[in-house]
Amino acid sequence: MPHLIALLAVSIAMAAGPQTPPAAPATPPTRVLFLCPHGAAKSVLASTYFKRRAEERGLRVRVDAAGTEPDAAVSPAVANLLRANGYAPPTAAPRKVTADDVIASDLVISLGCDLKAYPVKPGALREWNVPGPGENLPAADAAIREKVDALIDELVRAATSR
């Protein structure tokens, strides 16, 4: 009887065809968190542009945006600008950043936030000084796009050098 069971197991395995070795575990995506004080303009623009550019360049990322003192809604001017440029605003209502958000992020991009109260990992924080969208939306948009493109280029170089 044991011989019959072994023969049956071999027959089933042969019928299933050649076995492929298990795939190597995938590298987890880089987690990028964009923060601005109100979560309604700069972080919305940056996270939206970054997400699309990362996809276009083949980067595995998880992108999020939040505010340290979030407004009730995304800036209408920012939402309109994104739509005019072919992007859907990522959210209608900004959310408050949590300590867990910051801890879980590989990169924390601060666009004018005071993050002293948050546990940012050493080397994870980048501070981007850009014009305020309320003062000059076209200048803020151009500065954010430039910084996003530079960060994408840096991450692509790092990914290809591994």
Task: Give me the pLDDT at residue 18, please.
Answer: 53
pLDDT bucket at 5, cuts 50 / 70 / 90:
very low
**pLDDT (0 to 100) of residue 10:** 40
Tokens of 140: 């803020």
Cα–Cα distance for residue pair 41/69, rounded to 1 Å: 12
Averaged pLDDT for residues 80-98: 93
Q: Are 44 and 119 in contact (CB under 8 A)?
A: no
- What mean pLDDT is reported for the chain? 87
Q: Topology of 30-160 in CATH?
A: Rossmann fold (3.40.50)
Alpha-carbon distance 125 to 106, whole Å? 9
| E strand map for the chain | 30-36, 61-67, 107-110, 125-127
pLDDT band for position 22 (cuts 50, 70, 90): low
Percent of the chain with pLDDT strictly greater than 70:
83
Mean pLDDT of 93-103: 96
